[in-house]
Structure 1
Amino acid sequence: MMPYEEALDIVLSFCRSLPSEKVFIVDALNRVLAEDVVSQEDRPSFDNSAMDGYAVRWEDIKEATEKSPISLKVIGEMPAGGEGSFKVERGTAVKIFTGAPIPEGADTVIPVEYTETKNGMVFIKTSLKEGANIRRRGEELKAGDVVLEKGTIIRHYEVGILASLNKINVEVSRKPRVAILSTGDEIKDIGEPITKPSQIRTSNNYTLLAGVLSAGGIAYHLGIVEDDPEKLKNVLSQIGEYDVFITTGGVSMGEKDYVKTLVSELGVDVKFHKVRIKPAKPILFGTYNGGKGLFFGIPGNPVSCAIAFDLLVKPALLKMQGAKEYLPKTFKAKIKRDFYRRDAERREFVRAVYWWEGDSLVCDFSQKLQSHMLTSYVGANCYLVVKEGVKEIKEGEEVELILF
């Protein structure tokens, strides 16, 4: 069996970069930037007020206190988006609103809550440091600054940033086209009647569909095919139409596990079959179309399917799109109770939950460890990684976690 790191390295080594396309910024959500986005101007583009209040000369108000306020003549008002030719000279102030330009001569803004007004005068009841509450030109961005780097996954925050930069259309990587096929005589799709005790409801198709979408791909649901070599071969023959092809089931050692044989007949160059992990050991990976396409044969047990996607398929989809961060994210926490297992030959990925207790990050693991128990993901937010050779972890020991 192949170690996990070696299997991941092999998969990633065959991830070709997809071409880019230009899309409207809202359509770029969850896509990967294929260009650096550069600011065309300073931001802010002018000195402006961070508060509603009064623009003043610091020299005038530096001695102001609650008991001994400083009085200044109000010579005008500056709204956000407004214009004015006010000049703040000694003994004067301009009423100003958040975002409004700082008038000539002013160097400090006093928030309105520290003032009182009467008969055209404002009484300043506190002294702040010089320059307080002024947003300086270019303090956030300078013209020519790279704001978003190539390889950034665009969230709703980045969409807002793109809009603020007047970036109407943006270059992103093309979405990978991913086919999903489930196999098995016993599998029934959602909405279909269960007519025999031996039949089970599908989950893998929809776990993978949602996973592909969340990783920025386009998912093609090819349905469920019986364990019939000819029917399987007919569907698998479409493999060349997709960037990635995923099957679930049919890759273990049973008499009806036909996938591992059929894909070779169809031109898939198998790179490995079986990884030293638990669950999801019998993963098959290969390439097709001269190494341009990726094939993943994933075990049929629901947890094995999810783990195989998280640990191998998702990183591949992200790398194909040029994402800067495509590897599973790991971190450390202290385990809340003892963990024990009999077989320590493989690396195990246990569904778990982490949280903060004071200044410490702690975790606990699911009681449901079997690979058919998809409900072990309920409430979970990470995998507890149990390395090869480790049979027991004691309460309070530091462990490695992988973030979902």
Structure 2
Amino acid sequence: MISVEEAKRLILENTHVLDPVEVNLEESLGLVLAEDITSPLDLPAFTNSAMDGYALRSYDTEGAHEGFPAFLRIMGIIKAGDTANYELKNGEAIKVMTGAPVPPGADAVVMVEHTEVQEETLVVKKEIKPGENIRYKGEEIRRGDVALLKGTVITPASIGFLTELNVKRVRVYRKPKISLVVTGEELLAPDEEPKPGKIRDTNSVTLKFALSREPTEVISVDRVRDRKSAIEEKVERALRESDVVVVTGGVSTGDYDYVREVLESLGVRSIFWKVLQKPGGPLFFGRKDLTTVFGLPGNPASTLVCFYEYVLPSIRIMLGKNNKFPVEVDALVSEEIRKKADNKTHFLRGYIQGDGKHLHVKLAGPQGSHMLRSFALSNCLIVVPPDVTYLAPGSPVKVHLLPEVFL
């Protein structure tokens, strides 16, 4: 058995970013840029008004104030979408809307709030500085500048920004293709009525939706009984077609735990098996050629702990993401926590919240590896180190935030 730290080191060493592909911008959300993007144009494309007001020559307002305003002749109006054809002269102003082009000759915009209109005359009640309330052409980015760097995760804002730049396709690291194989003689489809000795399969459901948090392509979900031939058939196909194969159940040492035997027969190289942790100790990690293979314990809570701590980081590496492992924060425990002196790292389902000064965390419920309810109520995993058996209220502890958490 190896430590949690060693297991994560081996995953880092044996997982690699996937090859880049070119995709439509609309299909790139959550993916990572495989190259810099250079701006093909200036942004803004033209000098425009930052707000509703009047374009003018700033020196025409020199010394102006409430008791001694400047008087300018209003020459018309320019709306957003119009073209600014008129060149402003001394003593003139043009009404402009937010986003409207600033006419030639103007070097500032006075806000409506600082003006008064008397027939065709604009009364300006304050001195306006050059450049005030103007968005200059290219002030956000100039043609030829780097718009987004290689390694940037594409967000909704990224897509909006690149749309402004008229970028239609981007080169990104491709989505990993993932196959799920859920094993267990006792498992029924989620929509089946349980029979004596049977339970509904939740692992395929929770993993599929957990995977949906990242840009992945789940290409198959198979549920198989504890039969070597059945497991081998599904896993063999998954190895041919997938970047990642995740098998749940059958990875321990029980009489019907055939998964490791099957993986070995199919040429999967074992990198590690069994981690000094609870839950999820009988975790398997291996590779066949370019395919990464995880064997997760079958109990639902064990499956999810191993997914968040190991499988998801591996997928993030393949996607080219910098933040691979769960976000770790410091918190104070709100209640005492006890664990056995088993020299294992315990990942406890917890609920974390702040009081304005500190983060506090408590257990989300019973911690049985078969129990999903406490996972459903949790927003973090409390990490209790191997050498710790007791945490008194107020003790500091490391906490791993689940991807769904909002503090």
Shorter-chain TM-score above 0.5: yes
Change (3 A) 1:111 1:368: farther
**Partner residue of 2:392?**
394
**Partner residue of 1:365?**
363
Structure 2 contact 29–215 (Cα < 8 Å) conserved: no
Change (3 A) 1:62 1:34: same
Shift of 1:378: 2.7
- Matched residues in 1 for 2:369 and 2:66: separation? 69
Shift of 1:144: 2.4
- Matched residues in 2 for 1:203 and 1:65: separation? 72
Structure 1 contact 344–390 (Cα < 8 Å) conserved: no
**1:82 lines up with 2:77 in the alignment:** no
Shift of 1:351: 2.3
**Partner residue of 1:200?**
199
- Of 268-277 and 52-61, more deviation after overlay is shown by 52-61
Equivalenced residue count is 401
Structure 1 contact 209–221 (Cα < 8 Å) conserved: no
Structure 2 contact 74–122 (Cα < 8 Å) conserved: yes
- Matched residues in 2 for 1:373 and 1:360: separation? 29
Shift of 1:96: 0.9
Counterpart residue type for residue 314 of structure 2: A
- Matched residues in 1 for 2:118 and 2:99: separation? 25
Shift of 1:310: 1.1
Structure 1 contact 205–221 (Cα < 8 Å) conserved: no
**Partner residue of 1:234?**
233
**Partner residue of 2:15?**
15
Structure 1 contact 152–324 (Cα < 8 Å) conserved: no
Matches within 5 A, 1:287-326: 287-289=287-289, 292-326=290-324
**1:342 lines up with 2:340 in the alignment:** yes
Change (3 A) 1:351 1:129: farther
- Matched residues in 2 for 1:111 and 1:47: separation? 17
Counterpart residue type for residue 202 of structure 2: S
- Matched residues in 1 for 2:134 and 2:333: separation? 48
**Partner residue of 1:60?**
60
The 3-state SS of whatever aligns with 1:141 is coil
Shift of 1:324: 3.1
The 3-state SS of whatever aligns with 1:313 is helix
The 3-state SS of whatever aligns with 2:332 is strand
Point out where structure 1 has 5 or more consecutive residues left out of the alignment. none
**Partner residue of 2:405?**
none
The 3-state SS of whatever aligns with 2:212 is helix
Matches within 5 A, 1:220-259: 220-238=219-237, 239-259=239-259
- Matched residues in 1 for 2:261 and 2:301: separation? 24
The 3-state SS of whatever aligns with 1:369 is coil
The 3-state SS of whatever aligns with 1:272 is strand
- Matched residues in 2 for 1:180 and 1:353: separation? 29
Point out where structure 2 has 5 or more consecutive residues left out of the alignment. 403-407
Counterpart residue type for residue 347 of structure 1: T
Change (3 A) 1:98 1:10: same
Matches within 5 A, 1:166-177: 166-177=166-177
Residues 355-384 of structure 1 show CA distances to partners (whole Å, capped at 9, x for unaligned) of 332254443331232222212233433222
Counterpart residue type for residue 258 of structure 1: Y
The 3-state SS of whatever aligns with 2:400 is strand
Change (3 A) 1:102 1:34: same
Structure 1 contact 240–288 (Cα < 8 Å) conserved: no
The 3-state SS of whatever aligns with 1:237 is helix
- Matched residues in 2 for 1:301 and 1:173: separation? 33
Shift of 1:98: 1.0
Structure 1 contact 55–107 (Cα < 8 Å) conserved: yes
Shift of 1:146: 2.1
Counterpart residue type for residue 368 of structure 1: P
Shift of 1:332: 2.5
The 3-state SS of whatever aligns with 2:31 is coil
Structure 1 contact 178–218 (Cα < 8 Å) conserved: yes
Shift of 1:102: 2.0
Counterpart residue type for residue 37 of structure 2: V
**Partner residue of 1:403?**
401
Counterpart residue type for residue 205 of structure 1: S
Counterpart residue type for residue 317 of structure 2: K
- Matched residues in 2 for 1:337 and 1:56: separation? 66
**1:153 lines up with 2:153 in the alignment:** yes
**Partner residue of 1:209?**
208
Counterpart residue type for residue 339 of structure 2: R
The percent of aligned pairs where both chains have the same amino acid is: 35
**TM-score under structure 2 length normalisation:** 0.91
- Matched residues in 1 for 2:87 and 2:354: separation? 53
Shift of 1:315: 1.3
- Of 133-142 and 302-311, more deviation after overlay is shown by 133-142
**Partner residue of 1:330?**
328
The 3-state SS of whatever aligns with 1:205 is helix
Counterpart residue type for residue 168 of structure 1: K
Counterpart residue type for residue 121 of structure 2: M
**1:351 lines up with 2:339 in the alignment:** no
Change (3 A) 1:79 1:387: same
Structure 2 contact 43–165 (Cα < 8 Å) conserved: no
RMSD: 2.1
Change (3 A) 1:386 1:65: farther
Change (3 A) 1:376 1:128: farther
The 3-state SS of whatever aligns with 2:343 is coil
Change (3 A) 1:38 1:225: same
Residues 135-157 of structure 1 show CA distances to partners (whole Å, capped at 9, x for unaligned) of 12222112222222223332222
Structure 2 contact 251–259 (Cα < 8 Å) conserved: yes
Shift of 1:53: 0.5
Change (3 A) 1:135 1:339: farther
Shift of 1:274: 0.7
